[in-house]
């Protein structure tokens, strides 16, 4: 094997691309040729330097990508946490502003009993400008026997607009001793027929017979 052929084969030899027979011929040639041995050694050193440079570049690129990913993770974490905090604040604010309601204090409610012909209307208005009232009615024997007064923040919703002037419960009498029930039937009233108005710390009891004789009051 001459020198030119050997030198042409060295790159393939270093990459383990040459055959066993070619490797054998090259190794036999190097035993007899110091120049080719030095040439191979130089090529090996150059290849080692080149691979070390590539390795450093790869490591540098990997380190850079790790830093970028780390920064991105921190940014994503910060954004997610910020959004989560904002979401929690909105949820809590919405709950107290739009959803939360509580049984009203009797001192915060203005109650009016009005009569028009045989129809008696119980009206409940809040004494606060930024709130409104809702009534929860429970029925027994086909008439409302319990009224629970709830208070709520004014959330400027349709419900708030509907109840801003107060909430009402009506009773229809045929005469002072007879109530027209919700199902259209008539009920003769006794002293046991009472409407309970529940507030936060008190329950007011009004006999239905007394409602019939009520006049406009505040």
Q: Which residue has the higher pLDDT, 10 or 103?
A: 103
Question: Which residue has tokens 């045929």?
Answer: 174
User: Average pLDDT, stretch 37-64?
Assistant: 80
Residue 131 reports pLDDT greater than 90: no
> What string of DSSP letters covers 168-218?
EEEEEEEETTEEE-TTS-EEE--TT-EEEEE-SS-EEEEEHHHHHT--SB-
**Two structure tokens written together for 38:** 């030095």
Beta bridge partners of 132: 152
The rounded percent of the chain whose pLDDT value lies above 90 is 25
- DSSP state letter for 15: T
Least confident of 4-13, 138-147, 168-177, 183-192: 4-13
For residue 217, what pLDDT is reported? Answer: 47
pLDDT single digits (tens) 67-77? 878 788 888 88
SS (H, E, C) 99-151: HCEEECCHHHEEEEEEEECCEEEEEEEECCCCEEEEEEEEEECCEEEEEEEEE
Q: 106 with 201: CB under 8 angstroms?
A: yes
Q: Which residue has the higher pLDDT, 53 or 122?
A: 122
pTM of this prediction exceeds 0.75 = no
For residue 79, what pLDDT is reported? Answer: 87
Residue 42 reports pLDDT greater than 90: no
Please state the domain extents for the chain.
Answer: 3-73, 102-212
For residue 96, what pLDDT is reported? Answer: 56
For residue 95, what pLDDT is reported? Answer: 60
Angle at 34 between CA 39 and CA 5, to 5 degrees: 55
For residue 104, what pLDDT is reported? Answer: 92
pLDDT single digits (tens) 57-68? 877 877 777 787
pLDDT single digits (tens) 148-177? 999 888 766 655 566 666 789 999 999 989
pLDDT single digits (tens) 110-128? 999 988 888 999 999 999 8
Residue 109 reports pLDDT greater than 70: yes
For residue 157, what pLDDT is reported? Answer: 63
């Amino acid at each position: 094997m001459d020198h030119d052929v050997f030198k042409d084969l060295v790159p393939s030899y270093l990459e383990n691309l040459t055959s066993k027979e070619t490797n054998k011929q090259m190794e036999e040639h190097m035993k007899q040729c110091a120049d080719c041995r030095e040439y191979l050694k130089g090529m090996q050193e150059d290849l080692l330097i080149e691979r070390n440079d590539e390795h450093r570049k790869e490591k540098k690129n990997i380190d850079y990508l790790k830093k970028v990913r780390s920064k991105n993770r921190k940014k994503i974490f910060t954004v997610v946490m910020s959004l989560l905090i904002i979401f929690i604040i909105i949820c809590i604010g919405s709950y107290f502003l739009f959803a939360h309601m509580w049984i009203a204090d009797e001192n915060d409610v203005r109650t009016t009993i009005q009569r028009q012909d045989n129809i008696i209307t119980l009206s409940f208005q809040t004494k606060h400008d930024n709130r409104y009232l809702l009534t929860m009615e429970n029925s027994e024997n086909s008439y409302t026997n319990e009224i629970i007064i709830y208070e709520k923040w004014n959330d400027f919703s349709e419900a708030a607009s509907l109840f801003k002037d107060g909430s009402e419960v009506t009773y229809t009498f045929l005469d002072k001793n007879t109530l027209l029930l919700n199902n259209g039937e008539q009920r003769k009233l006794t002293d046991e027929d009472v409407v309970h108005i529940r507030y936060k710390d008190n329950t007011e009891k009004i006999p239905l017979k007394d409602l019939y004789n009520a006049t406009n009051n505040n």
